[in-house]
Amino acid sequence: MNLIFIVGTVVVSILAFGNHSFFNSMVFNAYQIKHRKESWRFFSYALIHSGWLHLLINMWVLYSFGRIVEDVFKVTYGIKGSIYYVLLYVGGILFSTVYDYGKHKDDVYYNAVGASGAVSAVVFASILIYPTGGIYLFPIPFALPSWLFGILYLVYSAYMGKEGKDNIGHSAHFWGAIFGLIFTLVVIPGVFGRFIEQLF
């Protein structure tokens, strides 16, 4: 399923790069969702990206972490594990927009694109599963323990989302990460106990 998500996102994003009408019909715009009932935008925005770099970073991170998380779900639930992975990813897409929908539902100019919220859900699922793993964060020349990266990421996303001084969807990153943690805690039996054991 992880590979299907990557291929589908790459194909749709490339198509949207050259078609402004298609791109505009897919973006997350809370105003359009509320006032024009275009509810598909809760999900379609994750299939398009602002440019090649945005797309490549999201898909590389998804490739790196998604296969690990999907494998754990499969080990836990067999073939049904892929269904749980789909629920994690798609749930991350939806949940990461809830805050911004409430905040921007009457702002016609607010738009967001990209799979970053869903990718955050996957990354934080992996952090809960493997807290002692290493994650590289440019420009730091060594890997941070994944649990420490998770804390720093959440604090940074919460702060930058509140400041709102750039065009990055920090609140989507934050809430996508929170969803990934909650979903994994609920779905994988004993994962929190193993998290604590690995740390201490």
Please give the backbone phi and psi of residue 114, each rounded to the nearest 5 degrees, phi first.
110, 155
Check whether 167 has a pLDDT greater than 60. Answer: no
Query: Where are the chain's structural domains?
Result: 2-199
Structure tokens at 115: 């799979």
From 95, 102, 156, 143, select the one nearest 122 (Cα to Cα).
Answer: 95
Mean pLDDT, rounded, of the chain: 92
Q: What is the pLDDT of residues 4-49, one digit of tens each?
A: 999 999 999 999 998 999 999 999 999 999 999 999 999 999 999 9
pLDDT grade for 51, boundaries at 50, 70 and 90: very high
Check whether 90 has a pLDDT greater than 70. Answer: yes
Structure tokens at 196: 């604590």
Check whether 168 has a pLDDT greater than 90. Answer: no
Check whether 75 has a pLDDT greater than 60. Answer: yes
* Separation between Cα atoms, residue 117 and residue 33, nearest integer Å: 18
In the numeric block, the tokens 């905040």 are attached to: 103
Q: Please name every residue paired with 134 in a beta bridge, in sequence order, or none if there are none.
A: 145
pLDDT of residue 80: 94
pLDDT of residue 166: 58
Angle, alpha carbons 94-99-104 (nearest 5°): 105
* Separation between Cα atoms, residue 99 and residue 113, nearest integer Å: 15
Cα dist from 4 to 26, 30, 47, 63, 122, whole Å: 19, 27, 12, 11, 15
Is pLDDT larger for residue 139 or for residue 180?
Answer: 180
Check whether 163 has a pLDDT greater than 70. Answer: no
State the architecture of 2-199 in CATH terms. Answer: Up-down Bundle (1.20)
pLDDT of residue 138: 67
pLDDT of residue 133: 87
139 contacts 148 by C-beta, under 8 angstroms = no
pTM attached to this predicted model: 0.92
Structure tokens at 6: 């990557």
